[in-house]
Amino acid sequence: MADSVGGPDTTAVRARVLAIWKRVLALSWPIMAEQTTRTLMRTVDIIVTGLFSPAAIAAIGLADLYARLPLRIGLGLGGGAIALSSQDTGADATATRDEAITQALCLGALAGIPFVFFGYFLGRESIAFLGANAEVAQMGGTYLAIIMATAPARHVGLIAARSLQGTGDTRTPMYVNVAANVLNAGGSVILGLGLFGAPQLEIVGVGIATAVANVYTAVALVAIIASPYRQGSLVRPRQLVIAKQLLVVSAPRVTEGLLATVIDFPFNSLLLLLGTEVNAAYQVGRRLYQQITGPLSRGYNVAASIVVGQRLGEGDPDEARFSGWAITGLGLATVGVIGLVLALFAYQFVEIFTDDPETVAHAAAFAQAYGVGAPFLVSYIIIAGALQGAGDTVTPLIARISALAIFYLGLSYVLAIPLGYGVFGICIGIVAHYVWSLLVVVAGYQYGGWAEKAERMMQERGSVPDADVDPDSSD
């Protein structure tokens, strides 16, 4: 009787949604596990550094601002790699897939070389430029030179992981990256503190541990891609159109990441205008949200890219579009609900990090803002991932940068300072920028020509035959 009331169409849709959810969870849990260990590794680095001196914490914090630059480029090129890799996997075009992977790795390695010279020649000066004193600039410059020396390896590791994920293999990158994160954390403790007979290198030891982990990740993943045991292979690059497409897809993602990093500077200055406790409270509230929901959101983002890209490669744009909406529903049912729980119990969660009454009050307000914004944020992240799988990285760029500039920074400033709403005004700006980001990508996903663009790109690189020669195309 229930089926007759709901109808066969409702039952069929429910079955499709559940099948997509099952596939997404199988794809995303390794990414979630990997991201969790990555976050914990960074926490260990901060704890170890904190045992040396406050100057050491400041040095590593300022150096990491510059270290985000190669990270953004690596993630951007990785976005291009996962788009082409997933599409060609769906189309069973192994030749173009392997060339796309190879060219992405080569581009990543080359793009990392300038950072090697930057770290070596301008490391100390770049830290001093931010206003650091001589001691902090010296330590931060040394740390920056060490980790920037492995920028090409960092790029290669990120791109290789995304390339394998595009083929549907999310477990292999997880195994390698979890091992690298454990190696990094263990190396930071041993070399930083001088345990088990190792020299006590302090911040230099932390830097060496990160550099070794970067090289290990790159070498291991490239060796796996070159082996006969996984989908994908290294080939001689021949098609210039593939390199062009990689750059076209990657450039907006790189731009988005770099501009987001730039906007963080004046936003933190805005927080400091309201007091040091407000800035500290924001870091606590944001860290709390990221620690709880970040791995889930990133897992869904990558899974959406894989599923949508592969469906487009199979020549089924309708299923690709349906998959994106279905994954968004999964995100709302998990991250969205967790975010609302975080908002309801914000004070209890925040008190784990600090017991200062003023900081707790402000941090709870920020945690509530992130919790309320969670349904909008996770929906944006998933739809942006779906668009990335199709090769559309311009729409997410427009969505995020306009939201950050107009609402996250602009509206927050107007409400907090001229209108005098303080922290509450910034919280409104945070939620509003998530709502705006979602509205823009939803419009692009619903009405944009991303499916047609993906088909044209696959035809250009020879992954699928030209649609004009299809005799069965009667519509």
Burial code (b: 16+ CB inside 10 Å, e: under 16) for 369-384 equals bbbbbbbbbbbbbbbb
pLDDT of residue 470: 45
pLDDT of residue 19: 94
Q: Say how far apart CA 145 and CA 183 lie, in whole Å.
A: 20
CA nearest to 280, candidates 370, 350, 359: 359
Exposed, middle or buried: residue 131 (CB in 10 Å: 0-12, 13-18, 19+)?
A: exposed
- Which residues of the chain, if any, have pLDDT below 50? 1-5, 468-475
What domain range includes position 160?
A: 26-238
Residue ranges of alpha helices (H) inside 274-393 are 276-313, 317-331, 337-344, 346-350, 357-390
Whether residue 256 sits in one domain with residue 214: no
Residue 357: inside a domain:
yes
Whether residue 255 sits in one domain with residue 117: no
Residue 222: inside a domain:
yes
pLDDT of residue 236: 86
Whether residue 217 sits in one domain with residue 316: no
pLDDT of residue 360: 81
Whether residue 382 sits in one domain with residue 360: yes
Whether residue 265 sits in one domain with residue 175: no
pLDDT of residue 475: 36
Whether residue 123 sits in one domain with residue 256: no
Residue 311: inside a domain:
yes
Residue 9: inside a domain:
no
Whether residue 253 sits in one domain with residue 180: no
Q: Give me the residue label for tokens 């009331």.
A: 5
Residue ending a domain, choose from 238, 256, 272: 238
Whether residue 415 sits in one domain with residue 347: yes
Considering the entire predicted model, what is its pTM? 0.84
DSSP state of 409: I
Asked whether 66 and 144 are in contact (CB, 8 A), the reply is: yes
Residue ending a domain, choose from 209, 238, 267: 238
pLDDT of residue 305: 94
Considering the chain, what percentage of its residues have pLDDT values greater than 90?
Answer: 65
Residue 3: inside a domain:
no
Whether residue 275 sits in one domain with residue 256: yes
pLDDT of residue 430: 95
Whether residue 402 sits in one domain with residue 358: yes
Q: Three-state SS for 235?
A: coil
Which amino acid is located at 465 in the chain? P
pLDDT of residue 466: 64
Residue 474: inside a domain:
no
Residue 218: inside a domain:
yes
Residue ending a domain, choose from 211, 238, 265: 238
pLDDT of residue 264: 82
Whether residue 261 sits in one domain with residue 172: no
Domain count for the chain: 2
The string of DSSP letters for 5-20 reads HHHHHHHHHHHHHHHH
CA distances from 111 to 153, 156, 306 (A): 10, 10, 25
Q: Say how far apart CA 15 and CA 76 lie, in whole Å.
A: 34
Whether residue 336 sits in one domain with residue 312: yes
Residue 15: inside a domain:
no
Q: Say how far apart CA 271 and CA 279 lie, in whole Å.
A: 5
Asked whether 463 and 87 are in contact (CB, 8 A), the reply is: yes
